[in-house]
Amino acid sequence: MSNAQDQAPRRGMFSRRMLSLVAGLALLAFGGYIVFGEFLAGVSATATINARLMVVRSPIDGMLTLRIRSLGARVAAEERLGEITDVRADTGRLAELKRTEVSLEADLSRIEKQRKLVAKAQQTFAAYSEDYRHGRIKQLEARLGEARALTGASEARLREQASALDRANALSERGVQTAANLERARAAHEVALEDLKVTKERASYLGVELDAARAGTFLGDSYNDAPYSLQRARELDLRLAETDSEIEHISQRLREVQDQIVAEQQQTARRTTAEIKVPTSGMAWDFLANSGEVVRKGQDLLRLVDCTSAMITASVGERLYNRLKVGDTAQFRLLGDQKVYTATVARLAGSGASARYENFAVGPTPAHLKRYDVTLTSPQMLADPEVNCSVGRTGRVVFSSGYYDWLYKIRTQLGL
């Protein structure tokens, strides 16, 4: 009875020892399986989130004013980072153009005032000329009427003298009229005939003069063109045309100078003030100049990390390196983080790849340079706003696909 009671605890202890041994062997097998699977899959020694650097240089000479002052500050694309102002820039050309503009504006104002005075005088002389024309036409019309009336009177006298001549001829034929009376009657008839011719010619002359006056040309004994007022009005018309031409010429020059001023102002603005912007989003990495400092054209002002170019730089052993090729897929996980990002091999730089890091934010370590350099891109990581510009964070890259993906996920969940 006592032996049976003693054997029961022994069997329990044996069972527990067997279970512990089995569990230990299972864990050892699983660990070996993981290590062996990792060896087959290939894991990088180190992996770092890296990105290219952008160097912002001064476009002009002047005093620097920065709007960002802290390392690690994030900047958006086309964000204004600061400006440079050069108060000693040469503005002589702009000042000369502005003086020319003022001079041309003064000339234009003076000539426009002259034109107003000339136009007013021209209107006055034109009014005088019109009044003279109307008065002259009325005068000629009255004279023509007078001449026509005289012509009528001459015709009446001619008829009277013709009748007297006829009577004198008849009396002379009968011997009643003396020869002297006949000659007087004949002479009176000829005088009346000439008077009629004179009055007709006078009326014809006045008619021509009236037609010319109505057309704007005045005929007379001492002139045969136009009165003084009309001549002055025509001279002033010519002067107005010349003034208008001069105004147009000065206006054209003024427009050209104003266009040159606008262009020169833009050039001066570019020479005296320059905004500092970057084309892509980034992060302040290093300040090479401070606000208030006078910088020279082309001088380096600051370095920014180009967050849009974030990538993964890793180092691997020679055996794994020789198995890789550009385009292979991999998985990247940051240390201390459970997220896994799909990545693609973009460049195989080999050993001693220090020259490849000259424009990168994070340079290689001596241990990294003893191994083989691999660069990977990960659009999935770039799309994650919490990680896409975490330059300097480290992790591991597993170069695997298919069967080994789930193994890496299990190891990641276990924290191995």
- Placement of tokens 């009309």 in the chain: 230
Q: Which of 233, 252, 271 is the last residue of a domain?
A: 252
CA atoms of 135 and 386, how far apart (whole Å): 100
- pLDDT at residue 2 in the model: 47
Q: Which of 231, 252, 273 is the last residue of a domain?
A: 252
pLDDT at 64 over 50: yes
- Sheet hosting strand 80-85, strand order edge to edge: 273-277, 80-85, 62-66, 294-295
- Least confident window among 13-27, 139-153, 163-177: 13-27
Phi, psi angle pair for 300, to nearest 5°:
-70, 130
Task: Find the domain containing 245 and state its range.
Answer: 94-252
Phi, psi angle pair for 215, to nearest 5°:
-85, -5
CA atoms of 290 and 299, how far apart (whole Å): 12
Q: Are residues 50 and 137 in the same domain?
A: no
pTM: 0.52
- pLDDT at residue 177 in the model: 67
pLDDT at 225 over 60: no
Top pLDDT among 253 and 40 is at 253
Q: Are residues 206 and 317 in the same domain?
A: no
- pLDDT at residue 159 in the model: 84
* Contacts of range 284-291, beta carbons closer than 8 Å, 24 or more positions apart: 284/68, 284/70, 284/71, 284/72, 284/73, 284/74, 284/75, 285/53, 285/71, 285/361, 285/391, 286/71, 287/66, 287/71, 289/58, 289/64, 290/64, 290/66, 291/64, 291/65, 291/66, 291/69, 291/82
pLDDT at 236 over 70: yes
CA distance readout (Å), 337 to 315, 393, 408, 411, 412:
20, 11, 14, 13, 9
Specify if 12 maps to a domain: no
Specify if 385 maps to a domain: yes
- pLDDT at residue 113 in the model: 92
Q: Are residues 401 and 295 in the same domain?
A: yes
CB atoms within 10 A of CB 3: 6
How would residue 374 be classed by pLDDT, with cut points 50, 70 and 90? very high
- pLDDT at residue 402 in the model: 42
Give Cβ neighbours of residue 271 (< 8 Å, ≥ 6 apart): 60, 86, 89, 90
Specify if 320 maps to a domain: yes
Q: Are residues 218 and 333 in the same domain?
A: no
Question: Distance from CA of residue 100 to its chain's centroid?
Answer: 25
Specify if 232 maps to a domain: yes
Would you say 214 and 138 are in contact if contact means Cβ atoms under 8 Å apart?
A: no
Specify if 27 maps to a domain: no
Q: Are residues 138 and 201 in the same domain?
A: yes
Alpha helices in 92-178 (DSSP H): 92-174
pLDDT at 218 over 70: no
- Placement of tokens 């890793």 in the chain: 314
Q: Are residues 348 and 301 in the same domain?
A: yes
- pLDDT at residue 104 in the model: 92
CB atoms within 10 A of CB 135: 11
Would you say 375 and 312 are in contact if contact means Cβ atoms under 8 Å apart?
A: yes
Helix axes 179-214, 92-174, angle to 10 degrees: 160
- pLDDT at residue 353 in the model: 76
- pLDDT at residue 26 in the model: 59
How would residue 18 be classed by pLDDT, with cut points 50, 70 and 90? low
Per-residue pLDDT averaged across 376-384, rounded? 91
Residue 235, domain CATH: 1.10.287
Token pair for 127: 């009014």
Top pLDDT among 204 and 19 is at 204
Q: Are residues 47 and 112 in the same domain?
A: no
- pLDDT at residue 39 in the model: 45
Specify if 280 maps to a domain: no
Mean residue pLDDT of the chain comes to 80
Q: Which of 228, 252, 276 is the last residue of a domain?
A: 252
Q: Are residues 240 and 359 in the same domain?
A: no
Encode pLDDT of 32-54 as tens digits: 444 444 444 577 778 999 999 99
Per-residue pLDDT averaged across 163-183, rounded? 76
Number of domains in the chain: 2
Q: Are residues 232 and 316 in the same domain?
A: no
Per-residue pLDDT averaged across 160-168, rounded? 79
Bridge partners of 47? Answer: 314, 395
Q: Are residues 319 and 244 in the same domain?
A: no
- Least confident window among 126-135, 293-302, 346-355, 391-400: 126-135
Helix axes 2-41, 403-414, angle to 10 degrees: 120
- pLDDT at residue 13 in the model: 59
**Cα dihedral 221/225/226/227 (nearest 10):** -30
Bridge partners of 306? Answer: 282
Residue 46, domain CATH: 2.40.30.170
Top pLDDT among 143 and 1 is at 143
Burial class (CB in 10 A: 0-12, 13-18, 19+), 98: middle
- pLDDT at residue 151 in the model: 84
Q: Are residues 44 and 144 in the same domain?
A: no
CA atoms of 287 and 306, how far apart (whole Å): 15
Top pLDDT among 338 and 229 is at 338
Top pLDDT among 280 and 12 is at 280
Encode pLDDT of 76-95 as tens digits: 888 888 888 887 767 778 88
* Strands of 151-240, DSSP E: none
Specify if 107 maps to a domain: yes
Top pLDDT among 260 and 228 is at 260
Q: Are residues 202 and 245 in the same domain?
A: yes
- pLDDT at residue 38 in the model: 43
- pLDDT at residue 37 in the model: 45
Top pLDDT among 161 and 16 is at 161
CA atoms of 229 and 127, how far apart (whole Å): 9
Specify if 85 maps to a domain: no
Per-residue pLDDT averaged across 136-157, rounded? 82
pLDDT at 170 over 90: no
- pLDDT at residue 101 in the model: 92
pLDDT at 25 over 70: no
Residue in 387, 318, 390, 314 with CA at minimum distance from that of residue 346 = 314
CA atoms of 150 and 203, how far apart (whole Å): 9
Token pair for 69: 């002052």
CA atoms of 138 and 210, how far apart (whole Å): 9
